[in-house]
Amino acid sequence: MNTAELTEALKMKALELGFSACGVARTRRLSHQEVFLRSWLNAGYQGRMHYMSNHFEKRVDPGLLVPGATSVVSVALNYFPAEGQPPGTRCRVSRYAFGKDYHHVIKNKLHELASCLERMAGPHQYRVFTDSAPVLERSWAQEAGLGGIGKNTCFIIPRKGSFYFLGELITDVPLAAGSAFQKDLCGKCTRCIDACPTKAITGPGILDAGKCISYLTIELKDNIPEKYRKLCGGWIFGCDICQEVCPHNRHATPHNHEELRPLHPIVHWSDKDWARMTHEEYNRHFKRSASALNRISYEKLKDNIRCATGDEDCR
């Protein structure tokens, strides 16, 4: 088959594997993102995530990650859950963490996609990524034509919303690249900027990660600083506020991925259950089940819970 036919066959396979969208971009240095990234890092917006400064050249040039690479295949996977947490609960978990850790789910699917490409085009040099390496995922998804980046810095797929994981297959197989997405998806809307309790969105498309509730409850290994404790609004792992207020997410529809089905505590635990959680329960429900909540320690999660419930004296 020719390049165009191969590309379409690969996209069809991606959809068969459960991905919601798939596109291709030509591998090149993302010079237009280089200046912004340097400015963002120089402003200290990465907080204590010092690793964001590492491998700068690889972040803007995927050819350094996969020598000889010609194509970046971008995929998106819906994670919007059909079930929610119990009504009225103050201990809120970001929807992306309801089920098993998405890193394993997406990488497994991407390896299957790479194997399919090998069957169709022969042996190839490739690597797969999903939020686990110096790859500018949102930029590549935009280059592949899947959608655009909103003012809240989330990736938005038109008529579908932003509750999507992104992943990449970078390969040396020449594929037919799509057209980059150019449309402004936000217009004059500032709902996400206005709704952020900690004012982490400092301007359209600019996030001061050190103020973001997701950073404060996950990436920051210390307890949540005093000045932010009352602003976190009950979030004990991550935050969805800027996505909940986004008009594009009125189109969000539930996923059907068994691997991402909400774990028992997420859809059944009350605030009292979270507050009484023992170390053994943490291990059983989150560590042994490969939950995303396992990214933070038991002690950190307990402090987030104290912050959410207002029970600061419960140690």
Residue 185: phi, psi to the nearest 5?
-90, -10
Sign of the CA dihedral running 167, 170, 173, 175: positive
Marked catalytic residue, from 61, 101, 131, 184: 131
Contact in structure between 224 and 304 (CB atoms under 8 Å): yes
Distance of CA 220 to the CA centre of its chain: 17
The alpha carbons of the chain give a radius of gyration, in whole angstroms, of: 20
133: alpha, beta or left? (left if phi > 0; alpha if psi -120 to 50): beta
Contact in structure between 73 and 112 (CB atoms under 8 Å): no
Q: How far apart are CA 30 and CA 33, in angstroms?
A: 6
Q: Using alpha carbons, list the distances in angstroms from residue 249 to 76, 78, 156, 240.
A: 15, 12, 9, 11
Tokens encoding 188 = 């004059």
Is 131 one of the annotated active-site residues of the chain? yes
244: CB partners within 8 A, 6+ apart? 195
**What are the catalytic residues?**
131
